[in-house]
Amino acid sequence: MNSTNITKTLQSNHHLENNPNISEKQLVALLKAHNKVALNLLYDNYAAALYGVIMRITRSQHHSENILQDTFVKIWKNIEGYDSNKGRFFTWMLNIARNSAIDFVRSKAFRADSRTDSISEQVYTPDILSTETNIQTIGLRKIVERLDPTLKQIIDLVYFQGYTQREIADQFDIPLGTVKSRVRIAIRELRKLM
């Protein structure tokens, strides 16, 4: 998107509000121009995905709400630093959300109060999941469930719990080379399923 196009789009925020299907590239360009309507669209398009990942990591609704807020603030503040040559935009946002949530779970503050509030909150989780989950998500979940449990576990340890390959090798007493090849196989299998 060139600057003339951006200017045109900026002048027609009304048009933007009624057109949630703008491309990712356009969205990034608008966010880099500090466009607030684009921020609104960003939230509508990605909040559920980011929130789901954060919930999966913290297992706490209260903490996840705060971390989602931090994530959007970081996206807004650091959007200039996003470089499409280095990877996909959604991946970039997911990494911000994941890292924020993993850092928090590993902090002393979380460890101290997770004993008191996580049990009661977990009771609500299945309900929220079943009533507010769309068809696309259900379809994806069915696909992911077909992945071998050992391979799924390795993805979860790395992706949601932030383990390094060395830490997995040590904790489960398996050679580092085996962990490395399982990470590779896990992603390939998942890729075949998608």
Partner 1 sequence: MPTINDYINTGILEAYCMGIISKSEQFEVEKLCSMNEVIQAEVNAIQYTLEEYANSFSKMPPPHLKNKILSSINQLDSNTPKGRRRRQ
Q: Which residues bind partner 1 (CB under 8 A)?
A: 34, 36, 39-40, 43, 47-49, 51-53, 55-56, 61, 64-65, 68-69, 72-73, 76-77, 80, 85-88, 90-91, 94-95, 98-99, 128-129, 132-134, 136-137, 140-141, 143-144, 155, 158-159, 164-165, 180-181, 183-184, 187-188, 190-191, 194
C-alpha distance from residue 190 to each of 10, 137, 142, 151, 186 (Å):
40, 16, 12, 9, 6
CA neighbor of 51 nearest in space, from 19, 83, 12, 98: 98
Complete DSSP assignment for 130-146? HHS--HHHHHHHHHHHT
The distance from CA 158 to its chain's CA centroid, rounded to whole angstroms, is: 14
Query: What is the smallest separation between the CB atom of 118 and partner 1, expressed in angstroms?
Result: 16
Using the minimum distance from each CB to partner 1, give the nearer residue, 109 or 194.
194
Using the minimum distance from each CB to partner 1, give the nearer residue, 19 or 95.
95
C-alpha distance from residue 51 to each of 3, 46, 76 (Å):
32, 8, 16
- Give me Rg for the CA atoms of the chain: 19
Query: What is the smallest separation between the CB atom of 117 and partner 1, expressed in angstroms?
Result: 16
Using the minimum distance from each CB to partner 1, give the nearer residue, 112 or 166.
166
Query: What is the smallest separation between the CB atom of 69 and partner 1, expressed in angstroms?
Result: 5
Using the minimum distance from each CB to partner 1, give the nearer residue, 10 or 115.
10
**Which residues are within 8 A (CB) of 70 and not within 5 positions of it... i.e. 6 or more apart?**
100
Query: What is the smallest separation between the CB atom of 183 and partner 1, expressed in angstroms?
Result: 6
Q: How far apart are CA 189 and CA 155, in angstroms?
A: 11
Using the minimum distance from each CB to partner 1, give the nearer residue, 78 or 112.
78
Q: How far apart are CA 101 and CA 55, in angstroms?
A: 9
Query: What is the smallest separation between the CB atom of 78 and partner 1, expressed in angstroms?
Result: 12
Q: Is 107 helix (H, G, I), strand (E, B) or coil?
A: coil
Query: What is the smallest separation between the CB atom of 76 and partner 1, expressed in angstroms?
Result: 5
Using the minimum distance from each CB to partner 1, give the nearer residue, 26 or 42.
42
